[in-house]
Amino acid sequence: MTEIAIKGLAKSYGDTAILENVNAHLADHEFCVVLGPSGAGKTTLLRILLSQEAATRGEVLIDGVPIDPEPQPDRGVVFQRYSVFPHKSVLANVMLGPQLRAAPLLGRLFGARRRAIRERAEALLQEVGLGEHLAKFPAQLSGGMQQRLAIAQALIMEPKVLLLDEPFGALDQSTKKAMHRLILDLWRKNRMTIVMVTHDIGEAFTLATRILMVDKARRDPHAPTAYGSTITEDIRLDPDKKPALHVVDESADESHTMTAIFARYRADAGDCVVDEHPNFQAAG
Amino acid sequence: MKRAINLVPARPPAILLAVLPFALILIVYAIGSDIRLGANPNDKLMPSFSTIGEAVGRLAFEENRRTGEYVFWTDTAISLQRIVVGLAISTALCILIGIPVGFLPVLRALFGPFLAAFSLIPPLAVLPILFIVFGLGETSKIVLIVFGVAPFLTRDVALAVAAIPREQIVKAQTLGASTWQMMVHVVFPQILPRLFDSLRLSLGATWLFLIASEAIASEGGLGYRIFLVRRYLSMDVILPYVAWITLLAFLMDYALTLASRGAARWYHLGRAQ
Ligand SMILES: Nc1ncnc2c1ncn2[C@@H]1O[C@H](COP(=O)(O)OP(=O)(O)OP(=O)(O)O)[C@@H](O)[C@H]1O
Ligand SMILES: [Mg+2]
């Protein structure tokens, strides 16, 4: 059971109010997507949940207990960038967390205990589709692969809460779709709570059991920094009533390839397309 | 006509181009030496290549009658030992001080300004103090090198540590890392390639401080020899010694590049040479 309570949260930098009066209660195993315009304070909210940043007022409780003031393994994170360690191989990135926990001085295990962690890491990497890339460095991976690595690295710690800040923001639509299925799959299997920031509204409705919109409720035209953002929308969605995304169906892959998505947009565009190169048609 | 920045030489011409300036200098020297020796066979300023060759042969391949040593190689060994020990101590110091100072806010507040001030002390100005305190032996020469390059390296390491993306440090904490574990497993490996680069950049200063201290008080070493034979205007010794020092510095630079590629393979992936 993991219940998160956000109570009367406020954050300001000097005189600039960023967040004010943010209240939310996230039930166990929630997939909460935080939406909002750029600069609204979504990342700030996530940083507070992570304890990377301290709230000016209010508190965050997990199962009734205030969160630790420092980042801890109970809350895993995937940032948009710089989430994985560039100097470690794919496998070493995932094996790092458990080894740090088990060996305070060396941060490194040997023998049977190392093998056990290695097997767990390999299984997890297999699950996120990186089973063939264990020895590579992050610089040798594509953006989507790096994010999958970051997710595996966070999941091996079995966090209660997984925090994601625009994790798929830099990915193309077809890769994004594949990542959506992966994250839903992992969310269901690991039964953790996910809080994910995005500004992709479609993504929010695809994934969420809960959508929070962070935006300014009040504005003072003479003092634009006087009021911060708060939660302006708060809706709950039933995942079982969202048929298309719920089923992890390998055969459905076809409809999510770049070509397939392009074809749908191409059809929608209709008369806007005034010319089409015949050579490619013939080849297809 | 292509823009100048887009004219990239192919591989064989590129090597040729690289050799060209060296060859040019040798040719210009040979001509100049010929002209001067033609006018005055006893001219000492630009000895011919054969005279230089003789001097090198005498110093490198004949035992010194008085000491029974091969002067050239003894000088080289003495100087290299001072440089290697000085750089090794500097490197150890910059890691042991630079990483904690760059990483821990309390230490940064405590030592940041002090380090900045300390690294501005001109090392040669304190050389007399070093001679007074440590005597004229090996210690003062090595201390001068350490004094000259360690503060620069330490500040550079501290800056490199501070430049590591915040996300990396937060991520490490969510993996349960302690401060010590972060320094060992995240910070140190990530600043390693930068450390190799700063070491390369400080090679020039290292040689400068070595030669300065050898020139002032020493019983041997490459810098000592140059300043000793200066009294006899022995350009036939000075010139090959300068070339040799340059070659040694170049080889050390190259060795550091190789070491960096070996120790931080991830950093050099797909990076231009
Ligand atoms: N350390 C800081 N000091 C001062 N202001 C800050 C700081 N960090 C963030 N801000 C301000 O807080 C506001 C919210 O920033 P935040 O990064 O949370 O926005 P966001 O909703 O994540 O936007 P985006 O969608 O562009 O990522 C911005 O106006 C930003 O300028
Ligand atoms: Mg943001």
Look at ligand 1, atom 17, and give the residue with the nearest C-alpha: A43
Q: Is the pLDDT of residue A258 over 80?
A: no
Q: Is the pLDDT of residue B246 over 80?
A: yes
B186 touches chain A (CB under 8 A): yes
How high is the pLDDT of residue B202? 95
Ligand 1 atom, smallest distance to A42 CA: 21
Using the 8-state DSSP alphabet, how is residue A68 labeled?
Answer: P
Are residues A107 and B184, on separate chains, in Cβ contact within 8 Å? Answer: yes
Whole-complex ipTM: 0.87
How high is the pLDDT of residue A177? 86
Does domain A4-74+159-283 correspond to CATH entry 2.60.120.10? no
Distance (Å) from the C-alpha of residue A84 to the closest C-alpha of chain B?
7
Q: Is the pLDDT of residue A250 over 60?
A: no
Domain ranges of chain A: 4-74+159-283, 86-158
Q: Across the strands, what pairs with A234?
A: A212
Enumerate domains of chain B plus CATH numbers: 69-272 (1.10.3720.10)
The per-residue pLDDT for range B193-214, each reduced to its tens digit, is 999 999 999 999 999 999 999 9
How high is the pLDDT of residue A247? 42
Q: Is the pLDDT of residue B53 over 70?
A: yes
How high is the pLDDT of residue A253? 55
- Longest CA span, chain A: 67
The per-residue pLDDT for range B122-149, each reduced to its tens digit, is 988 988 898 899 988 889 999 999 999 9
Q: Which range (A255-259, B12-16, B69-73) has the least confidence?
A: A255-259
Q: pLDDT band at A280, cuts 50/70/90? A: low
Distance (Å) from the C-alpha of residue A107 to the closest C-alpha of chain B?
6
Listed in sequence order, the DSSP H helices in chain A are 42-50, 90-102, 111-127, 143-155, 173-190, 201-207, 243-246, 258-269, 278-283
Q: pLDDT band at A173, cuts 50/70/90? A: confident
How high is the pLDDT of residue A174? 81
**Under 8 Å CB-to-CB from A15, ≥6 apart: which residues?**
A225
Are residues B178 and A85, on separate chains, in Cβ contact within 8 Å? Answer: no
| Percent of chain B at pLDDT exceeding 70 | 99
Could you give the angle at which helices B222-229 and B71-103 cross, rounded to 10 degrees? 130
Q: Which residue has the higher pLDDT, A222 or B23?
A: B23
- The tokens describing A214, both together, are 């962070």
Q: Output the DSSP codes for B117-161.
A: HHTTS-GGGGHHHHHHHH-SSHHHHHHHHHHHHHHHHHHHHHHHH
Which of A11, A12, A15, A16 best tests ligand 1's pocket when mutated (most atoms within 8 Å of CB)? A16
The per-residue pLDDT for range A8-25, each reduced to its tens digit, is 999 999 989 999 999 999
The per-residue pLDDT for range A63-118, each reduced to its tens digit, is 999 999 999 999 999 998 899 999 999 999 999 999 999 888 888 889 888 999 99
How high is the pLDDT of residue A254? 60
Average pLDDT of span A164-191 = 88
| Percent of chain A at pLDDT exceeding 90 | 59
